[in-house]
Amino acid sequence: MNRIPIFVASKDKDIADFSAEELNILRDATYTLRQLRVSRNDSKRIIQKLLAMGVNMTIPLATDGISDKEEKSLDQLIGSLIERSK
């Protein structure tokens, strides 16, 4: 069984911005993801439908080739969080 994928499909949009077909997909997704446990097949099906709708659910986490300055700022963040977590 899989955990529920987090996504925001309706960000900055009005209901009128969606077609009837897209609203059906969102209704199906909402119904499926409200279940306490979601099977891998169901979550995969919903993700595929949302992708076909053009919803981008990825979080950019690729850090390949980041600058020293950027890495330093991320190191500061982790240092601060470690301090706060103690």
Binding site for another protein (CB under 8 A): 1-7, 40, 43-44, 47-48, 51-52, 56-67, 70-71, 74-75, 77-78, 80-82, 84-86
Collapsing DSSP to helix, strand or coil, 8 comes out as coil
Radius of gyration of the CA atoms of the chain, in A:
18
Question: By C-beta, is 18 or 45 nearer to another protein?
Answer: 45
Residue 16 C-beta: closest distance to another protein, Å: 25
Residue 29 C-beta: closest distance to another protein, Å: 13
Collapsing DSSP to helix, strand or coil, 61 comes out as coil
Distance, CA of 74 to CA of 13 (rounded, Å): 32
